[in-house]
Amino acid sequence: MTTRAGFVALIGEPNAGKSTLLNRMVGAKVSIVTHKVQTTRTRIRGIALDGEAQIVFVDTPGLFRPRRRLDRAMVAAAWGGAADAEIIVLLIEAHRGITEGVRAILETLRERVTPNQKVALAINKIDRVKAQVLLDLTKQMNDAYPFIETFLISAEKGHGTDKLRQWLGQTLPEGPWLYPEDQIADLPLRMIAAEMTREKCTLRLHQELPYQLTVETEGWEERKDGSVRIDQMIYVARDGHKGIVLGNKGETIKGISQSARAEIGEFLGRTVHLFLQVKVRENWLEDSERYDEMGLNFKDGNA
């Protein structure tokens, strides 16, 4: 029996649907999905099986024009993820077409892709446009870059995603599996739990605090009854932000805690006791240790 395995990098602009596609492929929520751009900070690897093939997805931060140190480190991580992959899948949004951002990504692909790498195109959110628009966009994109295959998908609804997964499984090189069969992500559970809480913070506070907070899991205690106690710290950049996260009489943090606890519990398949605290750490965006914990390289943030 021939097994196949390898890395697949999903790249694209922020909000193109990479995290949604990753979760659809893996069949579990390993990458946070919000309507806020740039929520994926680290290269989360989700692992999908297709027949005898093990597909290891590298979900990269969205590619955009970086302004701050964190932005620059995220973009460097995205291209770093693409460099490690056997197959790169460029995801674009059908209704947005060829944006300036997509043009810039195509330019960088021409410079960076090695002869050993295969690059496929996935046009996402196809339910938002008419067939003729899709045909025209497919032609324009394939005229602009020699994609090996093009897939028309809806990551949210699942249209075309099985076909993409099967093609990836058949195209990866022959070789032994890279991870145990039951492992779906190579991020430690502590980090996945922190990401889930950060997603809830982002959804709840997106008007006030888009990127000025980070979450760390500081304690993880396995209990005899099979449940787990998780202690997490929400770090904010300013004193005024602390009150926003806590909310009136603690209502906001209570809501965040309830929804995060439910989701982490569902992911782990057991009861979770979640305890959240908020701490001000003024310069966390310039703190190299925070970058290490997010799987980013602090030096990549240098201009």
- In tens, the pLDDT along 206-263 reads 766 645 688 888 888 888 898 989 999 998 888 888 888 998 999 999 999 999 999 8
- 277 or 296: which leads in pLDDT: 277
Please, which residues have CB within 8 angstroms of residue 269's CB and are 6 or more apart in sequence?
none
**H or E stretch covering 274:** strand 272-280
Please, which residues have CB within 8 angstroms of residue 163's CB and are 6 or more apart in sequence?
151
- 109 or 289: which leads in pLDDT: 109
- Residue 91's pLDDT is 95
pLDDT > 90 in the chain, percent: 38
- Asked whether 47 and 54 are in contact (CB, 8 A), the reply is yes
- Residue 40's pLDDT is 44
Question: What pairs with residue 9 in β-bridges?
Answer: 58, 88
User: Is the per-residue pLDDT at 113 higher than 70?
Assistant: yes
Tokens of 275: 């305890």
- Residue 73's pLDDT is 66
Tokens of 16: 């193109």
178-201 tens-digit pLDDT: 877 766 655 667 888 888 898 899
Please, which residues have CB within 8 angstroms of residue 302's CB and are 6 or more apart in sequence?
69, 72
Q: Is 119 helix (H, G, I), strand (E, B) or coil?
A: strand
Mean pLDDT of 94-123: 91
Burial of 240 (0-12, 13-18, 19+ CB in 10 A): exposed
44-93 tens-digit pLDDT: 567 888 889 988 887 666 555 556 665 566 666 666 667 778 999 999 99
- Residue 36's pLDDT is 44
Question: Using CA of residue 237, residue 238, residue 242, residue 245, what is the dihedral sign?
Answer: negative
Summary mean pLDDT of the chain: 82
